[in-house]
Structures are given as structure tokens and as C-alpha cells.
Amino acid sequence: MKRPMKNTTRREIVACIVAAIAMAARGPAGDAVAAEPLQAQLRILDYNVFGFDSHQCERRARSFGHIVANAEPAYDIVALNEYYNIPLAPNICGSRHLGDALLCTGRYSHPDNRVVFKPDEGFPNGGLGLFTFGTICEFHERLWSFQDSADPRQGVIFARVALPNTTVTLDVYVVHTHSFGDGCDRCCHKEQLLELAEFIRTHSPRSGNPVIVMGDFNIGGPPACCGNPGYEDITAILGSPRDLWWEAHPCGDPVRLFCGDPIAECDHKRPADCHTNECEGFDSPPMDNCFDRHFDDVCTLESAVCNSFPAPEECDGWGGYTRTGCHNVIDPPPFPERIDYIFVLEDPAYSSSAFQVELVDARVVNWFVQLLSQDDFERIPVSDHLGLEATINIFGRSSMWVDAFQTEAGTGTSCDPFSSLEDAVAAVPAGDRILLRRGLYPERLIIDRPCRLESVAGVAIIGF
């Protein structure tokens, strides 16, 4: 036994163990979490970066990278869609130029802080990327079963990100489903959502980490969701995830804004107009407008200028759209839509998080490159999408992690948990907690300092 204490009574030991088992029965800390300390505040960005066409492609790619590289406060997690790696393709906006510019200030420069051009099975490859201040300690990728042979590989990537200077680790998923233009209708989207759900269930339910899912779903969400139906499919399949933009800017009950038939019927017939009156007069919330004002490749702290402006007037009443000009290129007006999302999953089928995620703010971002043309300034969008950013707080106590299924001794982090509860008890600082993933821990314990035992992802049985 490690660190024995003669004055520790059997009653104290049993009380601590019973508390852990009780915690397993009722799940995460629940209401008690509200009083937990703040562990981290994170700024998250999701952006589809492909752009309209090859017009000023290199310049737009570099500008996007410069804005991210100089953002203040910095983005802790940057998720990219349509971030391709296809050499000598004239219509593919410069992934190399974007990457070089994004890394120019040294952010995300360590190899453990990024994954790019995934999934990479087959050709064309690439499509998804992730840059983070945290350390990516685990990574997996998956292609959708449906792949048009002429279309870049689309799917989902998963990165387990250990946040610096905290004991918090995030399970981050970046998603890109096919569009209607790719031949993927609502039934196809449903199948891809089911594949996404299976992928998440494979990696996250036992982790105890907050689960964040973001990307270009090509599915329209409230307040206008008729051009690309299926938002209710997201809700049904992913266990009513928290839609952070909608949570920050609600306009009525999203359930009553759904259009089309139930998911079981998978009816992809599009009604002429299924908008409700519930959000009439709803002004789009302000968006962050950034432009890169340099005309060369110099990366400086003053490269990007950002201001908050109201959304364009033609979009009032819809809000949250993620296509520039508020016109979905697939569906003509009046169908401006949100198709890019940042979700937090909290359903037990997908998440056993021991931490609470609190939304601070979420907003659309609209980025431009400033060009000098015939002695005049011209601003063009960096992409045909708008971006989406969110700021979140994560609450919870500092934690040591234990996993009964861990084969190596481990160091006590979420990415590398202890294999025995005894090791965790020996290492845990006074006042912190020990998080046990579900399983059997056949150990006798002597606890010599204040601690809190909690289980995540099911029942943890301690003792012989």
C-alpha cells in the first residue's frame, strides 16, 4: 500500500468509496458542477475555406491564415472544412499558402498541435484540418460510405485534445457531409449522420471528456431550415445536441420551426415555403467582420483588422446564415440557411463528461481580403461560406484519471490514465478529484488526504 495513514478509519475509507459508487449511479456531478472552479476559457473557430473559385485564390488563402495567426484573443481550436491538398488543381484554393500564413506567427507550429488534409484515403484527398494550442494525443478519421468518385474525400476526423495548463481534455470532431450538389439528399445525410453517431460512440462515451462536434453539415438549421432539410435528423440522431449559435441567439422554439416529414419517412420533397411567422422581424445578430489589409505576404501583428457590424440588411429575419450574401448557392432566395455548426454533445450515449461547458458567446464571422485594384480598394470574401466562432467556459475540479482497462501504468491524464486507483490516490493533490472510468478496481485503499472520487461512463466497483 502507498502512503498509509494509521489514523484513517475504515468508516472514512468506506464513505469515500460509497460516494464514488453513488456518483456512478447518478452520473456526472450535475447541479454541484455549477459551484466548480473555472478550468479554461476557449475560443473556437469553424470555417469552410474553399472559396468561390480560383479568383485571387492565393491572396484569399493567405489572408485567411493571417487573420487566424494574428487573432486576439487567439483561437484555441481552429476547425477547417474543404482544406484540400490537391496539387496542380487550378480551382483548389491554396492550401499550402493558407497553412504557411496560418503558422507565420508561430501559433500551432508544433506537430502535436495540428492534423491536416484528412481523411486522406483515395484521391482527391484532404478536406478537413484542425489546429489547436492543445496537444493532440489521439486521432482517428472516417470516410462516409457514400463518396462521389469525382468529389474530394469527405467524412469526419476525431482529435483528443489535452488543453495546456489544465487537467481538461476535449473530444473534438470536425465534420463535412456531402451537399445536395454532390448527389446527397436528405436520406443520404441521414446515413452520414448515423455513421457519425457510430464513430462518436466508438471513441467518446467512456472518455469523461466534453464532446464538441463542428463543421459543414450541408443541413439547414433554424430559424430558416427549408432549403436543405434535416435539422431534426441531427437532433434525433445526436441526442439533442447544444447548438451554440442558436443557444446564443434563440428565436422561439426550434422544434416548432422544423419543416418536412419525420425522420422515419425521410421525405426529401421540398415545400414551396415552410417558414413560420415565429421569427418574423428577428434581426441577425452582429457578426465579426475581419479583413487583411496587407498587400504582400508579410505576417505582422497589425495584419488583420476586425470590427463587429450588423449582418447585411437583406438577411434580417433569418440570422446565422453561413453563406456570404445570405444566398445559399444550392437553393435560391428566400432560403438563406445555417449549414455550419458548433455542437456540444451531452447525451449519455455520446458523452460522459466530468466537466460542464458554459456558453459565453457564439457569432458568425465574415472575413475579407482587401485588394488594391486600379487605385481603389476592393474587398472580396475569403470563402463562399461565413465562419462560426464560439467562446466557452469549462468548469470542474482538477482531476487524476484512472481506467481499469489501461494496460500500462499511465501518468494520470485523460489521455494516459493510471491503471490502478492506488496510484491515483498516491498522486492526487489534496482537494482534487479522482475520475474513474467504468470497471472493476479490486483494491484496498488507504486515503491520507481530502479527495473526491467520481466515476464517469458507468459504474466503478471498488474492492474485492
Span 133-171, pLDDT tens digits: 999 999 999 999 987 666 667 899 999 999 999 999 999
Tell whether pTM > 0.85: yes
**DSSP secondary structure of 232-253:** HHHHHHTTS-EEHHHHHS--S-
Report strand pairing: 114-118 vs 126-132: antiparallel
Q: For residue 61, what is the enclosing H or E element?
A: helix 57-69
Report strand pairing: 287-292 vs 155-162: unpaired
Which candidate, 337, 341, 319, 345, places its Cα nearest to that of 242?
345
- What is the b/e burial string over 50-76, where b = at least 16 CB atoms within 10 angstroms of the residue's CB? bbbeeebbebbbbbbbbbbbbbeeebb
User: Is 27 a residue whose pLDDT tops 80?
Assistant: no
Q: Which pLDDT value is given to residue 372?
A: 67
Averaged pLDDT score across all residues of the chain: 79
**Which is more confidently placed, 52 or 73?**
73
Sign of CA dihedral 410, 414, 419, 424: positive
**Which is more confidently placed, 464 or 365?**
365
What percent of the chain has pLDDT above 90? 38
368: left (phi over 0), alpha (psi -120 to 50) or beta: beta
Q: Which pLDDT value is given to residue 333?
A: 47
Q: Give Cβ neighbours of residue 236 (< 8 Å, ≥ 6 apart).
A: 263
Q: Which pLDDT value is given to residue 7?
A: 39
Q: How confident is the model at residue 408 (pLDDT cuts 50, 70, 90)?
A: confident
User: Is 440 a residue whose pLDDT tops 60?
Assistant: yes
Q: Which pLDDT value is given to residue 409?
A: 86
Q: Which pLDDT value is given to residue 375?
A: 62
Sign of CA dihedral 226, 230, 234, 235: positive
| Range from 30-39, 43-52, 57-66 carrying the lowest mean pLDDT | 30-39
- How far apart are alpha carbons 195 and 202 in whole angstroms? 11
User: Is 6 a residue whose pLDDT tops 50?
Assistant: no
Which candidate, 115, 46, 108, places its Cα nearest to that of 80?
46
Helices 95-102 and 57-69, interaxial angle, to 10°?
20
User: Is 3 a residue whose pLDDT tops 60?
Assistant: no
User: Is 415 a residue whose pLDDT tops 90?
Assistant: yes
User: Is 210 a residue whose pLDDT tops 90?
Assistant: yes
**55: its cell numbers:** 479568383
Q: For residue 422, what is the enclosing H or E element?
A: helix 421-427
Mean pLDDT in residue range 255-282: 47
User: Is 112 a residue whose pLDDT tops 60?
Assistant: yes
Per the CB < 8 A criterion, the answer to whether 441 and 20 are in contact is no
Neighbours of 171 (CB within 10 A): 25
| Every domain of the chain and the residues it spans | 10-35+399-462, 38-395
Q: How confident is the model at residue 356 (pLDDT cuts 50, 70, 90)?
A: very high
- How far apart are alpha carbons 386 and 321 in whole angstroms? 8
**Which is more confidently placed, 263 or 441?**
441
Per the CB < 8 A criterion, the answer to whether 111 and 99 are in contact is no
Evaluate whether the domain defined by 38-395 bears CATH number 3.60.10.10: yes
The identity of residue 143, as a single letter, is: L
**Which is more confidently placed, 373 or 275?**
373
Q: Which pLDDT value is given to residue 367?
A: 87
User: Is 446 a residue whose pLDDT tops 90?
Assistant: no
Mean pLDDT in residue range 314-336: 55
3-state SS assignment for residue 298: coil
- How far apart are alpha carbons 338 and 336 in whole angstroms? 7
What are the residues facing 288 on neighbouring strands?
A: 308, 365
Which candidate, 276, 309, 303, 333, places its Cα nearest to that of 102?
303
Neighbours of 404 (CB within 10 A): 18
**226: its cell numbers:** 427549408
Per the CB < 8 A criterion, the answer to whether 400 and 424 are in contact is yes
Mean pLDDT in residue range 93-112: 84
Q: Which of 143-152, 184-193, 359-368, 389-398 has the highest mean pLDDT?
A: 389-398
Mean pLDDT in residue range 442-447: 85
Is the bond preceding residue 223 a cis peptide, omega within 30 degrees? yes
What percent of the chain has pLDDT above 70? 72
Q: How confident is the model at residue 198 (pLDDT cuts 50, 70, 90)?
A: very high
Which candidate, 462, 464, 446, places its Cα nearest to that of 17?
462
**DSSP secondary structure of 337-380:** -EEEEEEEE--TTT---SSEEEEEEEEEEEEEEEEEETTEEEEE
User: Is 346 a residue whose pLDDT tops 90?
Assistant: yes
10 Å CB burial of residue 20 (0-12, 13-18, 19+) is buried
